[in-house]
Amino acid sequence: MRVLTVVGARPQFIKAAVVSQALQGAGISEEIVHTGQHYDANMSAVFFEELDIPAPSHNLKVGSGSHATQTGAMMVGLESFMSSREGPDWVLVYGDTNSTIAAAIVASKMGLPVAHVEAGLRSFNLRMPEEVNRIVTDRLSTMLFCPTQTAVEHLAKEGMWNGVHMSGDVMLDATRTYSLRAADRNPLKSITSLDKDSFYLGTIHRAQNTDNPARLAAIIKAFSNLDAPIILPLHPRTRSKLDLSAIGSRVQIIEPVSYLSMLTLITSSIKVLTDSGGLQKEAIWLGKPCVTLRDETEWTETLSRGWNHTTGADTDAILSAVGTSPEGEAPRFGEAPAGSASSEIVRLLSG
């Protein structure tokens, strides 16, 4: 069996790492294409090196641009690449990025079966480009690997049952695998001079926040009024939108960090404040409460017992959520039916 994996953004590199290892362990041939959606070295090349992912056979080097420009360029590049190869048994896509939808559309039109890892997620907010990408990719996929039972139920409500599997969450596999390495390979002192449990960790990258000056200003205002410093690894897209001179001393901006460094920051922080989907889960799995800087979350399991709060970009709501404490143990979710999610996905693809 031969698998063509299409990735383009940081979260996909992490998910692909554990699945690629499972594919290799099963003796399955895999070719990886990088769209170039994330092209900054700290958000791309370092992940392949750090996570031992096989080097991509091809990089489309699409870079940034509007959704239409970026997705269109990816589709042209992917069609050319796929046309030059004998058709794979599966085109494997991850998550909800423009790389995901571009690969799903091209593969479908070429008659190639698509397998979608992280199928069935829904925020029910069609203003989010990611939500559109998820819905279209799910509709075009032959095999749908759901990280939770909630995702399976979302697909069932949309009339999709064939090829739907509750595989578990490959991000949980990655968190378990790489958190054991993080403290040794990327210790806190190599990232910041701050001590463990003396700072918050923040990330902002969603277009609904970065492209809306009022929302972005409200989030930065909340960060500037926290009761402890907040470390903010700054996405290049976000940096271009900020007036850095107006940011208070509580906010410590650093360059984007590798996955292992991010795991170190999560485990060393007081709490995580983010608009990322993956970081919400990683925080909870690693025992850290989360504040989600969005009006909704597709990871509703994280909201259990006050471990995660959705605040939108409301300054007062963010500060109020930061001041709360969760009740009871962190929620458990994303477990594979047996073994790991990555091995379950490989088993299903091989079936």
**Can you tell me the distance from the alpha carbon of 40 to that of 255, in angstroms, rounded to the nearest whole number?**
11
Q: CA 149 to CA 342: how far, in whole Å?
A: 16
Choice among 34, 116, 205, 235 that is catalytic: 205
Among 175, 210, 149, 121, smallest CA distance to 288 is for: 175
**Residue 165 annotated in active site:** no
Quick one: tokens of 221? 């205002």
Q: How many Å apart are CA 280 and CA 290, to the nearest integer?
A: 6
- Residue 9, both tokens: 């953004």
Vertex 195: Cα angle to 318 and 271 (nearest 5):
25
CA distance 322 to 200: 10
Total number of residues shown for the chain = 351
Closest CA to 284 of 297, 298, 265, 303: 303
Task: List residues with catalytic annotation.
Answer: 205
